[in-house]
Structure formats: structure tokens, C-alpha cells
Chain A
Amino acid sequence: MNIAQNKNILIFLLASIGLIVFPHIANIPISFFIFFYFLLGWRFISIWKPTWLPNKLLVFLLTALGIALYYSEFQGIFGRDAGTRLFITALGLKLMEIKTGRDLYLITYLAFIVAASQFLYEQSLLMGAYILFVSCVLLATLVTINSSKPEALVALKTAGLIIVQSLPMAVILFVFVPRLEAPKWALFNEPRQTKMGLPDSMEPGSISDLGMSDELVFRVKFKGALPPPRQRYWRGPVLSYTDGKKWSQVSNMRFGRYLDKLVLKGQPYQYTLLMEPQNRPWVFALDMPAEFSQTLRRNAHYQLITQENPNIRAEYSLTSYTDYNTGYLTRTELKDTTQLPSPPSSKIDQLVKQLHGFDSPQEQFIQQLLNHFRKEDFHYTLTPPLMEENPIETFLFETRRGFCSHYAAAFVYLMRAAHIPARVVTGYQGGELNQTGDFLEIRQADAHAWAEVWLEHKGWVRFDPTAAIAPERIERGIDTDQLVPGGAISYAPTSAAAQEALNWLKQTRQLWSTIDYKWQRWVINYDNKNQASFLSSLGIADIKTMVYWMVGTIAAITALLSWILLYQKQKTIDPIMRTYNRFCKKLAKRGLIRGNSEGAKDFAARANQTLPEHASTINHITALFIKLRYGKNARPEDLALFNRRVGKFKI
């Protein structure tokens, strides 16, 4: 019978193909999706109604329709989207024309390519597991094609077994096969859905509701101890220029080369930072980054900028010092960081005067200002009132409600009013410690703005006015678990039971994010750099040792598998026969080979003639064998005795 018409095989193949294409629903235009599933459904029904299959003309028309569809959404011949669509359309059309076993194979191979294309869109652990399962079903289809009686369950079991046996070798190949850096062909640069990162300017007065998401921005794993929470400032863009409402970066960064030498003190923190894809080349290092890889550069604002595509998840090895001195102030910096759109109003002047801004040392004034925030009726809220006109004054003297940006902006403004160089620094603060994985997760909700003031002999020094008003924001961070559903910040637990449930939820989430972190770090991001560092940790430095290792482990796995697959057979024969065969083998050494049709008794008689000195043993063993194999009342002790006698039998 033609295997291409076997119902079981077809059902299996079509079902697995339906599974493979399904996750593409989010990635291809819906018209392709419908076209494909229409063809699949048609083919499925045709299993029972073969006359419904399209004839040649209809297949031709369908192909034309497919091509038309492809051109209507034309996106070039190469590239991810175009390729995926092409393969899916081809797969759908090929389904209508299954004539021989060869077609079944072609379809299966196409399906593998479509399965792989899934990874170009999503690389999560769940997707990996799903594609693994689907590959198993596809292999099972091949098993059914090569079986006498296609049975779904048996085929799945066989395919699953083959996959399980292949996995160790695949992992070894994954670890050892050198990763080459592919040339960055513009052709394949796909626009990605990047998450909204930190903006490059801030306008606190125009925001009345700080939208906060728990979207992951980056993860940090420290080599040694973690810095204390109040030191966890992740430096982003520095905003020096203001028009009174909006704060933004200065474009002129050429003063970088005139900067004083950075003096680093205290304990270095070594860590790896795994940035999620984003649309700006900012790398949020712990303040102050000192050592970083070649692909990064530190700009004049001490912010790390990557030269690679930030759209791709990347990992960086960094070293930071929380204790540092930036030295003298350049002229450009002085100009930039004392800039004000217009002379401060009299109200502001009066406030500065009241806080002794003009007649006391700078640090004293800063303390006075922070005390002012603390003692006066200032509040920290994520939903402040709008301040369209004169946002600084409105905030300082009227509303007195705001979040970090409001405080940082007002603080810097007052510093500049007192002729002290100051600037706003944005970035992230804090991060949640994942207990299971021992790494920090920094989410979008951890976005923060603080101030930097230049002090004589100390350089740029960080001051966080938000810490003065809401120290728990700095010490504990925002509890995103509670933030997301309610929308408001809450620092206090509601009830014990609720807390316990939340803790449990939190633990589960932490466990999952640990697994996800490891997946991202060790699987998705296993590039040539990570590979080199991992292999050198195993003591593999050059390519030759690597090849030895790879070949060696693969040979070991092959040997083990061969043993499992091929050697087990001896164990499985009838135990009586096995022992008797052993007995025969021993006699065969003396040239006594039992003929095919020679009975045990005849053989024993012949053996006795050649080996009269062993006659009694041979007879006993033969008698036991006959009793065990053909006798009615053989007991388990007989088998044990039989085994023993054969074991001791020596000639």
C-alpha cells in the first residue's frame, strides 16, 4: 500500500504541522494564517474524502493565490518575516500534493524549518519546550512512515526516546561548537518591538500619573558582596540643560577629554549585567563604572554607552566603585551646570536666602535644603497634580507633592540659584534581590532621578532629595507586587494571610525568574565571549583542546548509548537458556560444539566421551537443564543450583 495514503500517518503529520504553525499567529499577517489553516483543514477532511482533493488546475490556482498573498504583503525576499511567510505558504501548498513517501519527508523537513523560524520571534524557555515537543511529534511522523503498523503512541515513544538519547550530544555540541560572530548584514537587521526605556529628558510638571510597569530592564549578578541598598544607583543619562520646565541632555560632550583623572577608592564591585533589548544604547552601570569591555565607552557624564545594537539582549562584565572623586570641574561643565533659563524669581531667591544658600558653606546649604524638604509639608506621591506653569515654583510653594523627578529638578534648580554647579541624573535605583538566583532584577518601576552637585575637593557628589522625603523608597524600593494590581504604593502589608500568599507568590515568581535568568544567560546569550569564558573556566584555552574535549565527550556518549542500545539483549533471553548457553560456550572451548538439532542429552553423551573426567558434572547440569526447561515441577532452587553448577564448571 502506498504510505502516502495511510490515514494514521497523514493524521499524525497534519496534526503536528498544525501545532508547529500555530504560535506564528502573532508573527505573520492574519491572511497568511487563515490561508494556511484553510489548506490544512481541507487536507484533513480529504483524508476521509479523497475525492475532495484539488485537481491539478485547482492546485495551480491555489499556488497563484499563495503567490499573490505573498506579494501583497511583500517584504523583500530575504529576512525573517519574508522567509517565515514563504516557508509557511510553501508548506500549506505542498500539503495539497502528497503523492509519495518523498512528499511526506519534504513536508516534515519544511515543518522543521518553520519550527526553527519560531525562535527568531521568541526565545523563551516555554517556546523552547514547545518546539522540542513539536520536534518529537515530527520525528514520530517519520517513525510511523517507517513502521509496519503506524501506531501513534508507539511512534511517539520511539521518537521521544531518540530525542532523549540525542539531547546530551546536542548539549555537548552546543557548548563546544565555536560560535562565530556573524557579519552584521543590514539585510537581516529586523526591527524589533523594543520596550520603552528611560526617556532622554524629563518634564516633571507635565506628568500627573507616573505609569510604572514591572517590565524587566536588566539583571545584575555580583561576584562578591552586594552593595548596600542606598548605594544601588544605576547611572543613566545626565540632564544638565533646562528651560525651566523640561530637563534634557546637553549635546556638546567634547569636554570629555579635559576631565580630571577619576580617583577610585574603597571596595570594587565586580558584576555581570544582562541588559534586555532596548532602543537606546545606554548601559546602566552601578555608579561609578570603572572597568568595562571594549564595546562600551564612558561618556563625559560617566554614563556607559554601548557601540553594539542595543536591540539585542547583551551581557556585560563591569567593575564599579561606589566611593570616588571626579576631581576638578571643567569650564564647559561649569557653564552647563549653572545654566538657568532666566534669573530666579524673588520667591526662589528668598528661599535660598532663608536656607543660607549664599552665606554658608555649600554642604551646609544642601543639608538645610534637605531638612527643608523633610520638615515642611512635602509629600512623595506617584500621582501628583499637574504643574503646567512655573513647575518649580508651583511645586516648591504650592502643591508640594511629587515624585523623584520633581524633587531632583527642584533641588538642582535651587542649587543653581545659589550658583552651585548641579545637574539631574536619571537612571534606576535599587532593584529586587532574587533570593533563589542571588541576582538583582531591575524593572521599569525602579526608574529614578537624583541630583549631583560639584563640591570642592570632592568632585561630583550624589544627593538624592527623594531619600530625604521618602527614605523607604530608597531603602526598600517600590513593591511591584503590590503596585501593579492596585496602582498605588503600599509599604505595609495588609494582613498576615495575605502577606503569606504574597510571599508564596513572590517566591514562585523569583524561582521562575531565576530559571529564566539562567536560560537567558547560559542559553540565549551563549555567544563567543561567554563561550570563551565558560570554556576557560573548564581549563580549555585553545581550539585544539576544545576539539579534543568535544570528540572525547561525544565518543563517550556514543559508547554509552551503544552499550545501552545494543548490549542489553543478552540479559533478556530466557535465564535458563542463557545459563545453558554459557555451559555450551565453556564446552566449545574444548571443541565440543552443540549441533543445531542435537538434543541436550545427546550432546552430554558426546561430551562425556571426550571429557570422561567431567562426566558427573556434565550429567548433573544436563539433568537440571532438562528438568528446568521441560520438567513439570521445577523449583526456583533448581535454577539457583543450575546457575551455581554452571558457574563453577571448569574444564
Chain B
Amino acid sequence: MNIPSLKKRLQLSRFFSGEKTIVTPITLNQRRVFILPTHRGLNFALLTALLLLIAFVYNNNLIYLLAFLLSSVFFITILHTYRSLAGLVLQEGQAKAVFAGEAAGFDIHINNPLTIDRQYLHIVLEEGQYLSVKALSNVTVTLYSATQKRGWHTAGTVTLSSTYPLGLFRAWSPIRFNLKTLVYPKPSALELPFPEVPSEQAQQGFSLKEGDEFHGLKSYEPGDPIKHIYWKAFAKGQGLFSKQFGGENSAQIWLDYNYAPGHDTEERLSQMCRWVIDAERLGLAFGFSLPGLKLPPDSGLLHTRKCLEALALF
């Protein structure tokens, strides 16, 4: 790990948005944890000052002693608050793709390699949540970030903070993980029928509708619809097979961008997304066509995901 130069260290942005994105895992150390007194801490300092004043006016040594004790407590709390974060190891986890408008969830694994319990940690991405990490244990939290547009979505800075033990100081560590996930277009709310693609394409061997006619068996490949699995053979212990339907006469769908209704690109993509989801739900095989991309008809999760990714990044 390279150590930043002094100039970089003094940049104000470090305090709020953390250092540059770094490959995880991140161990919280003195370079990443910042501490400042809270409002309550400042009031505590005020209380100490008031006690000192009383001690001065009355020449009372025991009140002096109490005031000094409280100021030492104030001071030592800095160390304790720092300790409530120091040594934690944070690592980003998997992030699932979402549709635009949904909140993207990012898993963060927090590992506590030390023998002290971590109390009342506050972790914030866009909304905060509280958690505790017992000594020598792991906790995974899911943080959500709202998405608006399709494409790559990058979540901002994750801030882990704690005011343990006395609430006089807040230690925080802004961490810029590489929190990235793909956002698919928002599926259109309209339930339109699948597009009717002109006959030139049908002549090429693809029909509009998938046939119900049983065509044959092929060995199962990941991504084949579950309802096409030939369970009888599986029950007999002959392995997994998928039923194939269609053939010359069976109908197939061809989802084409050019035939998607909509006023602009986004609306069209949204409609395309809707079709892809519907087709997947019905377990249909479908071809997929965007300007500059053509995917032959297929079915299954893998195919669907390829289509959705293409839509997201179009």
C-alpha cells in the first residue's frame, strides 16, 4: 500500500469522501480514521470550564480535581473512540444488478480481528444503520443506493462512524469502495404484445411464435428454463435433459429495437426491457436485436442477462 504524500494527506476532501478508491480489503488505521468532538463533547468541555470557574471562585481544590478529572476523561475518550474503529477490516461484497428506480444493494463485510467488541457502529451510504461487531467475528451489512438511470451505477462514499464510549467524540472513516453495479432500464409499465417482425426475417427461419410441438431432448445446459427440464428422465436417474420445442413450424419471437414503440431511445429501451422480462417469465426463446448487436434466439437466464446488459449499456 503506498502512503500518500503530505500534501495529499492534508487535503480537506479526505475528511469527507475518503482516499482514492483502493482495492479492498481496507484496514482502518490512523490514516483513515478521523476524530472530532461532537456537539455533546463541546458542551462537556464547557461543563469542565464551568467547574474550573467554580473551583477558582471558591478556591476549592476538590472541584479543581473533579474538573481536571473530567478534562482527562475528555482527552482519553479520544483514544477510546479511535479504538472503537481501529483495526476493523472492511471489504466490499457482491452487488446485484437492478432496474432503474430500484435501490441497488451493496454488501459490505466487516471483520473484527481483535478481541474487543465494537459497539454501536453507524454505517452510512445514503441511509444509515447501526450495527455491532463482536470480538473476532464478521458482520455483513447491505447498504442501498437509489438508482435513476440505466448504465453503470457507482455508489458514493461509505462512512463508518462511532461515538462509543461516551458520545463526546465521533470517529469516522470515509471509505470509497469500488461500489459499482449495472442498472437495467426501467421496464415499461405497458404490457404490449411482442412485436411482429416482417417476413424477411421469418423467412430466414424464425417464426413469430414459439411452437408447442415437442421437438426432442437435448442435454441440459445452464440457463435452460426449469420448466423445460425433462423431470421423468431425471427421476429415473438418467441425468438432466431439456425438452426442445419448436422446429420448422414452431413460432419464435424476435425482439427488435426498431419495432419497439416509444418517442425516444429511453422509452424504446424500456419497452424492450419489458419484453425481455415477459419472454423470460413465459420461458420463451427469443431473438434480440439492437442496432449493432444481434443475438440469435435462445432462452434461459444467461441469455436474458446478456440482453438486459446490452440494454443497460446501449
Q: Digit string of B80-95 for contact with A (CB within 8 Å is 1, else 0)?
A: 1011001100000000
Q: Which residues of B contact A135 (CB under 8 A)?
A: 66, 69-70
Residue of A nearest to B50 (CB): A113
Q: How far is the CB of A98 from chain B (nearest CB, A)?
A: 15
When the two chains form their complex, are residues B66 and A131 in contact, meaning their CB atoms are under 8 A apart? yes
Q: Which of B156-173 contact A (CB under 8 A)?
A: 163-168
A512 contacts B by Cβ under 8 Å:
no
B215: chain A residues within 8 A (beta carbon): none
In the complex, what's the smallest C-beta–C-beta distance from A550 to chain B, in angstroms? Answer: 11
Q: Using Cβ atoms and an 8 Å threshold, which residues of chain B touch A146?
A: 119-120, 163-167
38-89 of chain B: CB within 8 A of chain A: 40, 43-44, 47, 50-51, 54-73, 75-77, 79-80, 82-83, 86-87
In the complex, chain A residues 116-131 whose Cβ is within 8 Å of any chain B Cβ: 116-117, 119-120, 123, 127-128, 131
Cβ contacts under 8 Å, B219 to chain A: none
Q: A3-28, CB under 8 A of B: which get 1 and which 0? A: 00000000000000000000000000
Residue of A whose beta carbon sits closest to that of B163: A146
Whether the pair B114, A565 counts as a contact (CB closer than 8 A) is: no
In this complex, what residue of B is CB-closest to A523? Answer: B61
Does the CB pair B60–A561 fall under 8 Å? no
Asked if B132 is at the interface (CB within 8 A of a chain A CB), the reply is yes
Judge if B113 is at the interface, Cβ distance under 8 Å: yes
Q: Is the CB of B69 within 8 A of A166?
A: yes
Is A185 at the interface (CB under 8 A from chain B)?
A: yes
What is the bound-complex CA distance between A182 and B59, given in angstroms? 7
Query: How near does chain B come to A227, taking the closest CB pair, in angstroms?
Result: 31
B25 within 8 A of A: yes
Q: Are A170 and B47 in contact (CB under 8 A)?
A: no
* B87: nearest chain-A partner, CB-CB: A569
- A139 contacts across to B, CB distance below 8 A: 73, 166
**Stretch of A411-419, A497-505, A524-532 that contacts chain B:** A524-532
Contact in complex: A158, B165 (CB < 8 Å): yes
Return chain B residues, CB-CB under 8 Å to A163.
69, 73
Give the distance in Å from the alpha carbon of A175 to the alpha carbon of B168 in the complex. Answer: 26
Tell me how far the C-beta of B187 lies from the nearest C-beta in chain A, rounded to whole angstroms: 36
Q: Does residue A173 face the partner (Cβ distance < 8 Å to B)?
A: yes
Q: Is there an interface contact between B60 and A119, defined as CB atoms closer than 8 Å?
A: yes
CB interface residues, B 135-168, toward A, < 8 Å: 163-168
Judge whether A148 and B130 touch: CB under 8 Å: yes
B115 within 8 A of A: yes
A572 contacts the other chain (Cβ, under 8 Å)? yes
> Which residues of A are found within 8 Å of B132, using beta-carbon distances?
148-149
Check if A153 is an interface residue, CB within 8 A of chain B: no
Q: How far is the CB of B67 from chain A (nearest CB, A)?
A: 8
Interface membership of chain A positions 100-113, coded 1 if the CB is closer than 8 angstroms to chain B and 0 otherwise: 01100100010011
Q: Give B38 Cβ to nearest chain A Cβ, in Å.
A: 10
Total interface residues on A, CB under 8 Å, equals 60
Interface string of B122-136 (1 = CB under 8 A from A): 000000001110000
Contact check, B69 vs A147: say whether CB atoms are below 8 A apart: no
Min CB distance A175 to B, Å, is 10
Cβ contacts under 8 Å, A572 to chain B: 114-115
Instruction: Enumerate chain B residues within 8 angstroms of A525, measured Cβ to Cβ.
Output: 61
Q: Mark each residue of chain B from 162 to 188: 1 if its CB lies under 8 Å from any CB of chain A, else 0.
A: 011111100000000000000000000
Given A135-B66, A148-B132, A566-B82: A166 and B59 within 8 A (CB)?
no
* B51 near A561: Cβ-Cβ < 8 Å: no
Q: Is A609 an interface residue (CB 8 A)?
A: no
Given A162-B165, A169-B75, answer yes or no on A148-B119 (Cβ-Cβ < 8 Å): yes
Contacts of B166 in A (CB 8 A): 139, 142-143, 146, 162
> Contact: B73 with A166, CB < 8 Å?
yes
- Whether A148 contacts B80 by the Cβ 8 Å rule is no
B65, B76, B113, B116: the one contacting A174 at CB < 8 Å is B65
A558 to B73, CA, bound (A): 12
A496: chain B residues at CB < 8 Å are none
A343 to B309, CA, bound (A): 130
CA distance A629 to B220 in the complex (A): 41
Q: In the bound complex, what is the Cα–Cα distance between A523 and B70 (angstroms)?
A: 17
Judge whether A165 is part of the interface by a CB distance below 8 angstroms: yes
- Known contacts A147-B164, A166-B72, A573-B113: A565-B79 contact under CB 8 Å: yes
Q: Which of B57, B66, B72, B168 contacts A115 (CB 8 A)?
A: B66
Which 9 A-B residue pairs are closest in the complex by CB-CB distance? Answer: A166-B72, A169-B72, A173-B68, A119-B62, A170-B69, A572-B115, A170-B68, A148-B132, A569-B114
Q: List 5 A-B contacts (CB under 8 A).
A: A131-B62, A174-B68, A185-B57, A565-B79, A569-B115
Q: A173-B68, A524-B62 are in contact. List 9 more A-B contacts (CB 8 A).
A: A116-B66, A119-B60, A119-B62, A166-B75, A167-B69, A169-B76, A174-B68, A182-B58, A572-B114
Q: Which residues of A contact B (CB under 8 A)?
A: 80, 101-102, 105, 109, 112-113, 115-117, 119-120, 123, 127-128, 131-132, 135, 139, 142-143, 145-149, 158-159, 162-163, 165-167, 169-171, 173-174, 177, 179-182, 185, 188, 312, 523-527, 558, 561-562, 565-566, 569, 572-573, 596
